[in-house]
């Protein structure tokens, strides 16, 4: 048993993620006398070191000897190599994946079987970055804009594959690597397209396992996948929903101690809305709605295409920008904390007009709190009655720091005097009327 590096949960086996909190797990990958180190593959790739291992084999760093270029070499488990079905599928899937041509899809340089038939290999672009699982574990909660940026690129990569009739089948944070590229941060590469199909179970096998190998990663599988039904692109969209849910909560929507229990939950259990799981993180409801739609049990209820999801994410971004939602740039935990601090001052607020001086004052307050100032000039402020700050409520944060009913009153010191004067006049009129009536009688 290993303990999760993040939450301490006792983990059975060596899964890539903690079944409790979803944090990426790394294990001692020292292989001691790995006989492949130093070996020349296909007369071209010199294996230098082990990068890591997954269910189907190991990934090595290698050198393309003529191009002097660093590459990643995936070597399939030797137990798979003797199976002619696996070898045929490997060649078919590797060929299909090598035809993908998109900046967010990993580039495959070549693949093959070694002459003596003892190993199946695939050479690909070496990606130096952090997989999304690690990013979620180390930096959660991520800012909304960052989530939208990463997920949008995953959608683009999926669209490239789906257009080529490739279903990824093993979409999970470990297969999404993020890195900084020129001026762009969080540039995404999606790895392992179609590779899971190589060990796809035949009808003679249980849906989840084959030769002791878990096919795909149960926690990220779609209901149709765990039941062994035919898959289309919408299965990947369910997996995408799990990943999005994980970014919004830091947790998996369906977790249990065994793969079969996880699978059962995937088929029958409705996921708890992210805002209930993490009420202390404030994400826009639009984003939560996208995650829950992706997690629909019936594939017809999900989005039809990856680009439809991308459109929904873009629309979400547009709306948040339009209402100058501070959650775009702020970590939702910090935002929620600030909201809590300021919410009592917002009681009864409706719409607050902010002038330049107030805006500057608010921006200074944001800066001194180490936050990026919101650019809003007019902030609609619905009554903050929700337990969890929602985006409609979030502008109140800006409003509360800029102009609140309290300081609005402070800017109008004569206001209460005017009310008193009106009451005195009204009383005087009534008294005069009564006196008049008495005198008249």
Region from 121-129, 243-251, 319-327, 391-399 binding ligand ATP, contact rule CB under 6 A: 121-129
- With CB under 6 A as the contact rule, the residue among 156, 192, 325, 358 that binds ligand ATP is 192
131 binds ligand ATP (CB under 6 A): yes
Within 89-108, the residues that bind ligand ATP by CB under 6 A are 106
Tracing tokens 């004067």 back to the chain, one arrives at 421
For ligand ATP, the closer CB: 83 or 286: 83
Query: What is d(CA 400, CA 403) in angstroms, rounded to the nearest whole number?
Result: 6
131 binds Mg ion (CB under 5 A): no
53 binds ligand ATP (CB under 6 A): yes
- Least CB distance from residue 66 to ligand ATP, whole Å? 20
Residues marked active site are found at: 170
Tell me which residue of 365, 363, 358, 402 sits closest to 380, measured CA to CA. 402
Tracing tokens 């805002």 back to the chain, one arrives at 275
Q: Rounded to whole angstroms, what are the CA distances from 237 to 240, 290, 350, 421, 434?
A: 5, 11, 39, 65, 77
Query: What is d(CA 221, CA 289) in angstroms, rounded to the nearest whole number?
Result: 20
93 binds Mg ion (CB under 5 A): no
Strand runs labelled E in 132-249? 176-181, 184-190, 209-210, 213-214
| Residue 51 contact partner, candidates Mg ion, ligand ATP, none, CB within 5 to 8 A by sort of partner | ligand ATP
- With CB under 6 A as the contact rule, the residue among 19, 54, 152, 250 that binds ligand ATP is 54
| Residue 127 contact partner, candidates ligand ATP, Mg ion, none, CB within 5 to 8 A by sort of partner | ligand ATP
Q: How many CB atoms lie within 10 A of CB 343?
A: 17
160 binds Mg ion (CB under 5 A): no
- Least CB distance from residue 390 to ligand ATP, whole Å? 36
| DSSP character string of 235-271 | HHHHHHHHHHHHHHHSS-SS--SSHHHHHHHHHHPPP
- Least CB distance from residue 69 to ligand ATP, whole Å? 13
Contact between residue 245 and residue 239 where contact means Cβ atoms under 8 Å apart: no
Site string for Mg ion, 191-230 (x = CB under 5 A): -x--------------------------------------
- Least CB distance from residue 56 to ligand ATP, whole Å? 5
- Least CB distance from residue 55 to ligand ATP, whole Å? 4
Query: What is d(CA 27, CA 16) in angstroms, rounded to the nearest whole number?
Result: 9
Query: What is d(CA 166, CA 192) in angstroms, rounded to the nearest whole number?
Result: 11
| Residue 309 contact partner, candidates ligand ATP, Mg ion, none, CB within 5 to 8 A by sort of partner | none
| Residue 53 contact partner, candidates Mg ion, ligand ATP, none, CB within 5 to 8 A by sort of partner | ligand ATP
217 binds ligand ATP (CB under 6 A): yes
For ligand ATP, the closer CB: 166 or 330: 166
Beta bridge partners of 60: 50, 73
Query: What is d(CA 228, CA 201) in angstroms, rounded to the nearest whole number?
Result: 8
175 binds ligand ATP (CB under 6 A): yes
The β-bridge relationship of strands 378-380 and 351-353 is antiparallel
Query: What is d(CA 348, CA 338) in angstroms, rounded to the nearest whole number?
Result: 19
- With CB under 6 A as the contact rule, the residue among 7, 36, 37, 55 that binds ligand ATP is 55
Cis ω before 141 (30° cut-off from 0)? yes
Secondary structure class of 185 (helix, strand, coil): strand
Region from 77-85, 170-178, 220-228, 388-396 binding Mg ion, contact rule CB under 5 A: 170-178
Secondary structure class of 281 (helix, strand, coil): coil
- With CB under 5 A as the contact rule, the residue among 16, 144, 175, 394 that binds Mg ion is 175
| Residue 59 contact partner, candidates ligand ATP, Mg ion, none, CB within 5 to 8 A by sort of partner | ligand ATP
- Least CB distance from residue 256 to Mg ion, whole Å? 23
Q: Rounded to whole angstroms, what are the CA distances from 337 to 17, 57, 277, 340, 367?
A: 29, 45, 17, 5, 16
What secondary structure letter does DSSP report for 199?
G
Region from 169-177, 286-294, 303-311, 337-345 binding ligand ATP, contact rule CB under 6 A: 169-177
Phi, psi of 212 (to 5 degrees): 80, 0
Interaction site with ligand ATP (CB under 6 A): 16, 51-57, 59, 72, 106, 124-127, 131, 170, 174-175, 191-192, 217
Interaction site with Mg ion (CB under 5 A): 175, 192
């Amino acid at each position: 048993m290993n303990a999760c590096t993040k939450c301490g949960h006792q983990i059975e086996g060596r899964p890539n993620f903690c079944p409790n909190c979803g944090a990426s797990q790394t294990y001692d990958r020292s292989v001691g006398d790995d006989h492949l180190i130093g070996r020349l593959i296909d007369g071209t790739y010199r294996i230098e070191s082990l990068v890591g291992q997954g269910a189907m084999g190991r990934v090595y760093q290698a050198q393309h000897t003529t191009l002097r270029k660093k590459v990643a070499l995936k070597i399939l488990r030797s137990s798979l190599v003797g199976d002619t079905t696996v070898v045929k599928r490997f060649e078919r899937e590797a060929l299909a994946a090598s035809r993908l041509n998109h900046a967010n899809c990993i580039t495959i340089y070549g693949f093959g079987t070694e002459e003596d038939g003892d190993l199946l290999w695939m050479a690909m672009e070496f990606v130096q970055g952090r997989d999304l699982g690690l990013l979620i574990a180390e930096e959660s909660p991520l800012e909304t804009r960052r989530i939208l940026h990463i997920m949008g690129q995953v959608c683009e990569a999926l669209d490239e594959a789906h257009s080529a009739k490739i279903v990824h089948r093993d979409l999970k944070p470990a297969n999404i690597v993020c890195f900084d590229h020129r001026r762009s941060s969080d540039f995404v590469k999606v790895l392992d397209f179609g590779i899971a199909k190589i060990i796809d179970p035949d009808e003679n096998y249980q849906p989840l396992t084959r030769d002791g190998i878990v096919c795909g990663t149960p926690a990220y599988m779609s209901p149709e996948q765990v039941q062994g039904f035919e898959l289309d692109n919408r299965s990947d969209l369910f997996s995408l929903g799990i990943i999005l849910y994980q970014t919004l909560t830091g947790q998996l929507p369906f977790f249990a101690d065994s793969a079969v229990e996880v699978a059962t939950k995937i088929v029958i259990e409705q996921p708890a809305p992210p805002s209930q799981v993490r009420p202390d993180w404030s994400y826009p409801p639009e984003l939560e709605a996208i995650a829950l739609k992706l997690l629909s049990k019936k594939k017809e209820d999900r989005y039809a295409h990856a680009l439809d999801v991308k459109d929904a994410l873009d629309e979400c971004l547009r709306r948040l920008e339009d209402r100058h939602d501070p959650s775009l740039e702020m970590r939702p935990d910090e935002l929620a904390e600030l909201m809590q601090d300021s919410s009592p001052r917002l009681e009864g607020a409706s719409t607050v007009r902010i002038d330049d001086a107030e805006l500057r004052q608010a921006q200074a307050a944001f800066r001194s709190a180490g936050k990026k100032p919101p650019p809003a000039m007019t902030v609609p402020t619905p009554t903050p009655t929700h337990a969890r700050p929602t985006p409609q409520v979030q502008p109140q944060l800006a409003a509360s720091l800029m102009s609140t009913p309290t300081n609005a009153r402070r800017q109008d010191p004569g206001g209460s005097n005017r009310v008193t004067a009106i009451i005195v006049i009204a009383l005087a009129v009534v008294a005069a009327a009564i006196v008049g009536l008495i005198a008249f009688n």
